[in-house]
Amino acid sequence: METAADRHRARRPVWEKALDTEKCQEYLPKLHHHTDLMASCIDKAGAKGKKGVLINHWLKCFVFDMVGDVGYSKSYNCLNSGSLHQGILDLEKSLAKAVILWPLPWLVRIINSLPGMSNPMQAPIDFAASNLGEWKVFKRNKGPDILSCVFQGKSDLTYEEEVEDTMMLQIAASNTTLAALTFAMYYLSVNPEVQMALRKEIEANADVTNIASEAIQGLPLLAGVIDETLRMHPSVPSGLPRLTPPEGLQLGGTYIPGKTTVSCPTWTIQRDPKHFSDPNTWNPFRWINPPENHNTKAFFPFSLGPYGCVGKAFAYMEMKQALAKLVTSFDFKIAPGHDENRVIDESKDHTVYSCEPLWLKMETIARD
């Protein structure tokens, strides 16, 4: 009988190929299009909005337009319309419920068996099924897109497994990147000297009117801003659940029984002063000139090992491109009249971060 672990081992190489560095280059035209469009939309919103720009709304439009286009060549048209697809709104509501139930799969089975009750993830499942069906009819192998890689040729997956893969793509490639970009924009807003230094770094190495991905991938401060943000706010703060082996295991003198769900709290470990000096201070320069206490082995925002995130390379490429475009297009700060600490103090762990509203005053930088 095939287990979930067996299926993961069989499927992971396919996903790795769909998201490796070489394949990511094929997605660059789509990434450039959406980053340029996002900047244009924010420019218009900034000109109209008297109380500022709700930056995480536009970041959310950006990441979901990217998920649709790169994932399965679908346009959600969020940026152009300025509004979110209903399926995206349903996905967020379901994640808020699922955070309680995911560590307790037996409880999900009980809930599903009760009259009048339904799977809390049913709406995202239906959304994924709709996107998968549309892709099969209209978009298959017309990419480049991720599904054309993972479902190429004759699939040996069941329909339910194909829907599950599509749903996980929607979740893993959206809210995680959204949270990282939102927090990065917050920290750059309240640290104007870092924002200015980052802008100068990008301007010195890239044509800011048409930022080439290869020109910014190796920039140290840009990488430091992203890594420091992920250190302080890993997109999956409590860590992902894992199952101990049937025989159990010993950890630090403690025996953990077999087939027990465990997790490693990323947020806690990455803020432990044993691993990072002054751990609650956002300091992107620690990644350029590391202090004595800088244990990179304790930095794992994309998880580790055979279950680590296969989309890490693409996520970094997407975040770097988005931040580079925003930092060189706008000078920004917290919008007047808004609580600058709200996004830090009140954002919630819904398995992935669910960020509170972040209002920014975005001033377009004039370019000759």
Binding site feature residues for heme: 309
- What are the binding residues? 309
Element (H, E) at 251: strand 249-251
Distance of alpha carbon 151 from alpha carbon 92, whole angstroms: 26
* Cα dist from 320 to 114, 220, 324, whole Å: 46, 11, 6
Position 177, amino acid? T
- Would residue 116 be called left, alpha or beta, if left means φ above 0 and alpha means ψ between -120 and 50 degrees? left
Distance of alpha carbon 61 from alpha carbon 140, whole angstroms: 24
Is the C-alpha dihedral spanning 116, 117, 118, 120 positive or negative? positive
* Cα dist from 287 to 115, 192, 200, 226, 266, whole Å: 54, 19, 18, 10, 18
* Cα dist from 358 to 7, 169, 187, whole Å: 40, 26, 11
